[in-house]
Amino acid sequence: MKGISTKAVHVGQDPDPSFGDVIPPIHLSSTFAQSAPGEHRGFDYSRAGNPTRARYEACLAALENGDHAFAFASGLAASDAVIRTLQPGDHVLCSYDVYGGTFRLFERILKNQNIEFSFTDLTDFAALEHAVQSNTRFIWIETPTNPLLKIVDIRTTAEFAKSRSIKLAVDNTFATPVFQRPLELGAAVVIHSVTKYLNGHSDIIGGAVICNDAELAEQVGFIQFAAGAVQAPFDCYLAHRGIKTLAVRMQCHQASALQIAEFLEGHAKVETVLYPGLPSHPQHELASAQMDGYSGMLSFYLKGDLDDATQVLKDTRLFSLAESLGGVESLIEHPAIMTHASLPAEVRESLGIADSLIRLSVGIEDVDDLIEDLDRALG
């Protein structure tokens, strides 16, 4: 099995041996009967392991071409588990425009456990070389970034990290393994907010850690078991079900996003469109080299101020005004007030998260309807 669509449909989906169910049943049980003390059929307690979770984790690993995958109760629980493999005094060098919740987790919780964090523009290789420290253990990136859709060169960053015995961690939520497989490009570990594209239907919160490194896998697996932020069986089932259509959804998300990006680029009320699939994107070439597609997220600066942006956000009908992304339904949001409110105002400003910036998560509705909706709201 090589193709990602085939893996998405088949890995972890062998018919159940009891009745041959083509769709394996959900194993909700918290505990499993033992025939003698310590003798069981592979599972003893569902925090440690659960058949439904195990099937889903096998599929997650296959999608990213990884050897090990761990399902967590949220994307942030997944990131938390990766950082918890560190020791006090260790340092993490992180992209300065990571997801707001990741920034909050690092700065307000994990920093207090004496893990050191610094935040730098990791699209700039000189800045990366300058910011790395002798105690750096992880370089932590997102690419494309949120909400500015900048691209970090995974291969170059991974090579640099390896030369210093540092692990490169890539949050692959925006691209998904359909369009980008960081482990193949040299990353040590991939993190997902499964809440977004992988599940794809905006009806669960979930996270995942995927890696090839056996030692890191053992540590993350132990943290999953011992700290217990596991994904519940029913949510594993839903995410695994959602993944079956991941590849077709992603193709649709990106085809429509490109059409919308082109429409917005030609619109009189729009200043700039940020979408890696547009030839006008400053890193379009790098995006094309490391990605197989550009996904369904795009941002744009309106010609106008906060009031104008607010009007557009209130006036769309198909695009729901909501945080999150990656579902089949289109969403529109205001990063400065909504998703990126946890960043200090001066950080937001220095990044370019202005009051006129609007972010879209393009769903799988008919693109003509989406364009009509935006056109009316912009008018």
- In the complex, the residues that contact ligand PLP under the rule CB under 6 A are 74-76, 99, 101-102, 142, 146, 171, 173-174, 193, 195-196, 205, 207
DSSP bridge pairs for 192? 208
Q: Alpha-carbon distance 125 to 87, whole Å?
A: 27
Q: How far is the CB of 74 from ligand PLP (least distance, A)?
A: 3
Which is catalytic among the residues 7, 55, 96, 99? 99
Sign of CA dihedral 69, 72, 75, 79: negative
Phi-psi region of 173 (alpha: psi -120 to 50; beta: other; left: phi over 0): alpha
User: In this structure, which amino acid lies at residue 227?
Assistant: A
Residues 311, 334 contacting (CB under 8 angstroms): no
* Residue linked to tokens 């049980």: 29
Which is catalytic among the residues 16, 44, 47, 84? 47
Peptide bond into 282 cis (omega under 30): no
Residues 272, 301 contacting (CB under 8 angstroms): yes
Question: Is 99 considered catalytic here?
Answer: yes
Question: Is 47 considered catalytic here?
Answer: yes
Q: How far is the CB of 185 from ligand PLP (least distance, A)?
A: 18
Which is catalytic among the residues 80, 97, 153, 171? 171
Q: Alpha-carbon distance 110 to 137, whole Å?
A: 14
86 or 98: CB nearest ligand PLP: 98
Question: Is 275 considered catalytic here?
Answer: no
Q: Alpha-carbon distance 273 to 275, whole Å?
A: 6
Which is catalytic among the residues 196, 249, 348, 359? 196
353 or 377: CB nearest ligand PLP: 353
Q: How far is the CB of 268 from ligand PLP (least distance, A)?
A: 31
Q: How far is the CB of 73 from ligand PLP (least distance, A)?
A: 8
95 or 136: CB nearest ligand PLP: 95
Q: How far is the CB of 14 from ligand PLP (least distance, A)?
A: 28
136 or 339: CB nearest ligand PLP: 339
Cβ-closest position to ligand PLP: 75
Break the chain down into helix, strand, coil percent, rounded to 5: 40, 15, 45
80 or 153: CB nearest ligand PLP: 80
Residues involved in catalysis:
47, 99, 171, 196
